[in-house]
Amino acid sequence: MPTVVIKIKRREPPAPKSLDKDFMWLCRSLGLVSLRDKSATTTRVFKAIVIATKKFGGITIPQLTQALGLSRTTVIHHLEEIWDTGLIVKEGMRFRLRRYNLASTIEEIRQDLNRIFDRIEKIADDIDKEMGLPRR
């Protein structure tokens, strides 16, 4: 199983509702926006992938560089950040959203996390038993 790094940040949803603000909120909540990313490049790359998933079934690195006016190195750097979260997959040369919409993608990641926490809890329980730690 590949390593997936997910940061969850509790943030208040934007008001009033706005597609751009909601998208930025989603990316910030998932830890995709760092303090160094002043122009929200990761969010721009991720949004382009989501749009391309709907329209074309995915997008290539050259298409991302052209569409966003970014260097190949910059696109690859931000793709790796998004890839590490498990939000996107690569099929051939194309990157696309893991599922065909954001809600299904988030739900699948939630299921992954539940399986991971089940394993962690099982091992923690084994450790507790071996160490004689009380269970409340």
pLDDT in tens, 92-119: 999 999 998 999 999 999 999 999 999 9
CATH number, residue 55: 1.10.10.10
For the entire predicted model, the pTM comes to: 0.85
Q: Which residue has the higher pLDDT, 6 or 68?
A: 68
Q: How many domains does the chain have?
A: 1
Q: Tell me what pLDDT residue 1 has.
A: 55
Residue 24 lies in a domain: yes
Tell me the CA distances in angstroms from 52 to 47, 56, 95, 110, one per residue in order. 9, 5, 9, 24
Residue 135 lies in a domain: no
- Alpha-carbon span 44 to 46, nearest angstrom: 5
Q: What is the mean pLDDT of the chain?
A: 92
